[in-house]
Amino acid sequence: MATHEINPLDLGADDPRSGRKGPLRHGVYILPSFFTVLNLLCGYYAILETFRGGAGDMDNAARAIGCAIVFDAFDGWVARATRTNSEFGKQFDSLADVVSFGIAPAFLAFGWGVKGVMLGSFVAVHIVQLGWVSSFVFVIFCAWRLARFNIGQAGGFRYFVGLPTPAAAGAIAAVVHAMWNPIEDWRKSLVWVLLVLLLGFLMASKVRYYNFKGVNLGRRRTSLAVVAMALILAAIVRYSEATLLILASVYVLHGLVLEALRKMRHRTSARPA
């Protein structure tokens, strides 16, 4: 009986030798992948600026992380709007997020808040050591959070389970952008290290955070909502330091507050009448 060589690319969904649910498709969707590349570029640039070490360089790194957040939101929005979602795009986006929202903010957190601590005392040396450990923990939990999101265990349409990685990275960038000068006092550095650890643990936690992806921009809005959004945008442009820090802080804290309220409500309902 004549036989022929089988090309693995020809295996489809119904072939038992293929683990895929459909025929393999060649190529990628250019538009959402383009925004993902811009996201990755911003993370790479943030790392380079952090290495330069000046206060202005650190601020440039923080701004780059902020731009990465915008591009990350755009690639998902474009993919959904144009119906160009793909498994490749999903994995590519996650790998870019590890760089832009994991490695880049970890480098920035260490370079801005720990590296400049005046050495010489026993406590300061251990603060620096704790600093690089906390930064690495941040990277680990960022990758953990993204992996959990990819397998569908990080929330639904209305909320996220765990602090989203762009929000955690944005919180670090907002503090650096607002405070400007790198930390030199070991006491402030210790508080900063604990904050970085907290953000890392929140990413891996089960605390619920509101999912703005569920907001339908095509729906009609009241004039008050439009005015409020315009005022927020104007405040970001004119007073970016304070406005971005407030927005980042409110988003990080709102999940903790809602989680505490849910637990209080659960305890109240569990009490016998």
Q: What is the pLDDT of residues 219-266, one digit of tens each?
A: 666 778 788 888 989 999 899 999 999 999 999 999 999 999 988 887
- Please report the pLDDT score of residue 137 as a whole number: 96
**First vs last Cα of the chain: how many Å apart?**
80
Sequence-ordered list of residues with C-beta below 8 angstroms from that of 165, at least 6 positions apart, any chain: 97, 101, 102, 142, 145, 146, 203
User: Strands 208-210 and 159-161, how do they pair?
Assistant: antiparallel
Question: What stretches in the chain show pLDDT beneath 70?
Answer: 1-28, 118-121, 153-157, 213-221, 270-273
Q: How far are the Cα atoms of 73, 192, 243 from residue 231, in angstroms, in the given order?
A: 21, 30, 11
Cβ atoms within 10 Å of 190's Cβ, excluding its own: 20
Q: Please state whether 160 falls in left (phi above 0), alpha (psi between -120 and 50) or beta.
A: beta
What three-state secondary structure class fits 109?
Answer: helix
Phi-psi region of 210 (alpha: psi -120 to 50; beta: other; left: phi over 0): beta
Residue 197 to residue 95: CA distance in whole angstroms? 22
Q: Distance (Å, rounded) from C-alpha 91 to C-alpha 83?
A: 17
Confidence (pLDDT) at 6: 42
pLDDT tens sequence across 197-223: 999 999 999 999 988 765 655 566 677
Q: What is the pTM of this model?
A: 0.83
Half-sphere exposure of 102 (CA within 13 A, CB side): 20
Number of other CB atoms surrounding residue 251 within 10 Å: 18
Would you state the pLDDT for residue 271?
A: 67
What is the predicted pLDDT for the residue at 218?
57
Dihedrals phi, psi of 180, to nearest 5 degrees: 70, -75
CATH topology of domain 29-210: Four Helix Bundle (Hemerythrin (Met), subunit A) (1.20.120)
Q: Report how far residue 264's alpha carbon sits from residue 258's, in angstroms, rounded to the nearest whole number.
A: 10
The predicted pLDDT at position 157 comes to: 67
Helix (H) or strand (E) holding 29: none
Strand-pair partners of 161: 208
